[in-house]
């Protein structure tokens, strides 16, 4: 492909610049407001964002934190996870989910995913419960919520806490309930590639539990109350005002962007059907709003397809190539290949293709065309 053509046909996995340009003036005004105030850590911008994101997530409380990872860490600290405590979660997720459990000395007890939704299969949870189980940590992967009714029912019966990893699912719904509002705590990420992405790291813990909200808030600032009097050993998990100001601007557009992702997903389904491409498409479980943080296709020839699309300058990514039970750092958990076949197969066969809101139909056509060509060629 010639250089001049590649500039026209290239389809990135995500185009943050395109989004920024649509709200440039507002973003600059918001950042200027913070810069003029010289109030950089927590403060009124963060408090306003906390109220707005909590309301958006159908929660009474929001506590802004430094990242989605820190949201998970501080949530697990808030439920007083102790060394040796077990947390039931999915092996098919971003590292932070299991990483935070391990950092507190907890043990991840993995339950395989439903091969259609890629989310934890509730049918496997009960058998994984032991006297040391403290919590269940479902992940709403790719923007579709886990099957929460059976998870909450099991949790209630066994007196377990549920923490939702909603890093990829802000605004997603399960039977009318928003991500983060069903379990005792919900963890959001504002990493730039998430549906609501900041200009750096950021996250939030949302909850309807006043006591847990207060504890997360305490832990976020080194457990100090008042200043220099430390009730708990917390950390610096604070969100800064510049991020909050940017995120407050973006939050107003989030519904429109998530709707655009849904439109793009529907467009892909139609284009793939018309082209007769036999690639696996995302399964919509019908729980309600899927926010398509990723549009993940599936092919037994995934690696060859990925290489082919790279040559066509179409951005793709594998989320995630190595399930958590097969990570080197978790050898101590003593799992082995074959323990979670649905997760292992997904790690080998799935591929995210561009679905970001500003993606045009022409670009989507190029993606589908390239995948159809691959199907014909190999
Ligand atoms: C992004 C993500 C996180 C971590 O969020 P950061 O803001 O990057 O720390 C945790 N869990 C899942 C499922 C994620 O996708």
Series of mean pLDDT values for 10-residue runs along the chain (378 residues): 51 95 98 97 97 98 98 98 98 98 98 98 98 98 98 98 98 98 98 98 98 98 96 97 98 98 98 94 97 97 96 96 98 97 98 98 96 80
Q: Is 293 in the pocket of ligand 1 (CB under 6 A)?
A: no
- Asked if the bond preceding 226 is cis, omega within 30° of 0, the reply is yes
Please tell me the distance between residue 71's alpha carbon and the centre of ligand 1 in angstroms: 9
pLDDT on residue 9: 59
Both tokens of 194, joined, read 């998430």
pLDDT for the residue numbered 278? 87
Ligand 1, atom 1: nearest CA belongs to which residue? 167
Q: Is the CB of 258 within 6 Å of ligand 1?
A: no
Which option is the CATH number for 21-251: 3.40.640.10, 1.10.3720.10, 3.30.470.10, 3.40.50.2300?
3.40.640.10
Please, which residues bridge with residue 230 across strands? 224
Give start-end residues of each CATH 3.90.1150.10 domain in the chain: 254-374
Give the pLDDT of residue 2: 43
The boundaries of every CATH 3.40.640.10 domain in the chain are 21-251
Rounded-to-integer distance, Cα 45 and Cα 246, Å: 10
Q: Which CATH number fits domain 254-374: 3.40.50.300, 3.90.1150.10, 3.30.300.20, 3.40.50.261?
A: 3.90.1150.10
> Please, how many CA atoms are within 13 Å of residue 182, restricted to the half-sphere of its CB?
30
Closest CA to 40 of 48, 27, 29, 31: 31
DSSP calls for 120-170: B-GGGTGGG--TTEEEEE-B-GGG----HHHHHHHHHHTT-EEEEE-TT-T
Nearest atom within ligand 1 for CA of residue 194: 1
Query: How far is the first Cα of the chain from the last one, in angstroms, to the nearest whole number?
Result: 20
167 Cβ inside 6 Å of ligand 1: yes
* Bridge-based pairing state of the strands 86-89 and 161-165: unpaired
Provide the token pair at 155. Answer: 């949790």
Ligand 1 pocket member 69 (CB < 6 A): yes
Q: Please state the pTM of the whole predicted model.
A: 0.96
Which residue out of 64, 65, 191, 243 has the highest number of ligand 1 atoms within 8 Å of its CB and is therefore the one to mutate? 191
DSSP states along 22-90? HSHHHHHHHHHHHHHHT--BSHHHHHHHHHHHHHHTT-SEEEEES-HHHHHHHHHHHTT--TT-EEEE-
Phi, psi of 49 (to 5 degrees): -60, -40
Paired with 180 in beta bridges are none
């Amino acid at each position: 492909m010639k250089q001049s053509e590649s500039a026209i046909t290239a389809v990135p996995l995500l185009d943050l610049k395109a989004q920024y340009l649509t709200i440039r003036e507002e973003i600059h005004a918001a950042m200027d407001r913070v810069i003029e105030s010289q109030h950089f850590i927590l403060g009124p911008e963060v408090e306003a964002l906390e109220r707005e994101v909590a309301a958006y997530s159908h929660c009474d409380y929001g506590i802004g934190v430094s990242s989605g990872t820190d949201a998970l860490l501080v949530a697990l600290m808030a439920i007083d996870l102790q060394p040796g405590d077990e947390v039931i979660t999915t092996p098919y997720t971003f590292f932070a989910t299991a990483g935070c459990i391990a950092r507190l000395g907890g043990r991840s007890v993995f339950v395989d995913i439903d091969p259609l939704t890629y989310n934890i299969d509730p049918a496997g949870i009960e058998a994984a419960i032991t006297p040391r189980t403290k919590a269940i940590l479902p992940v709403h992967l790719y923007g579709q919520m886990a099957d929460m009714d059976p998870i909450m029912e099991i949790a209630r019966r066994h007196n377990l806490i549920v923490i939702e990893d909603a890093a990829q699912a802000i605004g997603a719904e399960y039977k009318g309930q928003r991500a983060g509002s069903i379990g005792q705590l919900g963890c959001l990420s504002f990493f730039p590639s998430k549906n609501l992405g900041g200009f750096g790291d950021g996250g939030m813990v949302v909850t309807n539990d006043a006591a847990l909200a207060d504890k997360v808030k305490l832990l976020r600032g080194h457990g100090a109350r008042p200043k220099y009097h430390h009730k708990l050993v917390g950390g610096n998990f604070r969100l800064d005002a510049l991020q909050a100001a940017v995120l407050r601007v973006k939050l107003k557009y989030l519904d429109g962007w998530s709707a655009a992702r849904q439109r793009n997903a529907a467009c892909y389904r139609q284009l793939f059907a018309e082209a007769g491409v036999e690639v696996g498409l995302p399964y919509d479980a019908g729980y309600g709003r899927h926010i398509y943080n990723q549009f993940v296709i599936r092919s037994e020839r995934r690696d060859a397809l990925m290489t082919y699309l790279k040559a066509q300058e179409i951005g793709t990514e594998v989320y995630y190539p190595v399930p958590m039970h097969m990570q080197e750092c978790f050898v101590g958990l003593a799992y082995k290949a074959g323990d979670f076949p649905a997760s292992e197969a997904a790690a080998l066969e799935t591929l995210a293709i561009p679905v970001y809101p500003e993606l045009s139909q022409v670009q989507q056509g190029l993606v589908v065309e390239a995948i159809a060509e691959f199907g014909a060629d190999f």
